[in-house]
Amino acid sequence: MPAPTPDEIAAARAAIGVPDERFPESIAIIMDGNGRWARKRGLPRPMGHQEGATVVRGIVTEAARLGLKNLTLYSFSQQNWSRPQEEIDALMHIYAQYLIEERETVMDNNIRLRHLGIREDLPEVALSELDESVRISSTNTGMFLCLALNYGSRSEIVQAARKLAEKVGAGGMTPEDIDENAFADALDTVGIPDPDLLIRTAGEMRISNFLLWQVSYSEFYVTDTYWPDFTNADLHKAIQTYANRDRRFGGVDKSNA
């Protein structure tokens, strides 16, 4: 299925009041609050994760319709392994089922799936479905959907430093060759634009070891809404808020200079 046409994208953005020149190229989301959503309703925590997975489908589809180039979702951190085993098992089952059930959505929306994080420790049932979804979507040409699964930004940065050190040791580059571009190319996100907008749900005011290098100049948007309650309208509000901000990247507001 072809990606949305420029006219279709422009119309979708105009409908939410955001012109092309103010629209973010890349969005990252920390999907928080699944467990608290379930607890408020007297439900087991895995039910919150299951509902959260349902919300992902709508948000991914809407992001693709709006012509977003990249969407990165923080799905499971390396620190999440400390959760109760029952919850971890349920989460991995949900991930595997999501990957199977959403392949049609991925293909229908011309989405390219990509994994961020460490493959080791992921159970085979989740890893095999992840690999299959990445494989079948590799020839698509639309939005990149990056799933940060068993991901930790400090670990990613350490691994990048090791890669560069190995290249220097092998004579493939010199220490003087290591600059910001070379370092970015050694990260999991090579080829993916840094997030313009970082959204966090459930009201927490922290980054939680997510894309520490990449969010250096991201605009942050925090909402008290739990992820299972997050809607397309909430996504639109975050984008509208972003569009009204003055991004100076260390400079000054030229209108007040």
pLDDT at 255: 57
Q: Is residue 191 scored above 90 in pLDDT?
A: yes
H/E run at residue 182: helix 180-185
Q: Is 80 assigned a catalytic role?
A: yes
Superfamily of domain 6-153+194-245: Decaprenyl diphosphate synthase-like (3.40.1180.10)
pLDDT in tens, 2-41: 678 899 999 999 999 999 999 999 999 999 999 999 999 9
Q: Confidence band (pLDDT; 50, 70, 90) for 246?
A: confident
Q: Is 32 assigned a catalytic role?
A: yes
Catalytic residue among 7, 70, 80, 194: 80
Q: Where are the beta strands (DSSP E) in the chain?
A: 26-30, 70-77, 112-116, 144-151, 197-200, 219-222
pLDDT in tens, 67-89: 999 999 999 999 999 999 999 99
Q: Confidence band (pLDDT; 50, 70, 90) for 253?
A: low
Domain ranges in the chain are: 6-153+194-245
Catalytic residue among 7, 32, 109, 179: 32
Residue with tokens 């012109």: 19
pLDDT at 5: 87
**What does the CA dihedral 191, 102, 140, 219 come to, rounded to 10 degrees?**
-30
Q: Confidence band (pLDDT; 50, 70, 90) for 256?
A: low
What are the two backbone dihedrals, phi and then psi, of residue 194, each rounded to the nearest 5 degrees? -60, 145
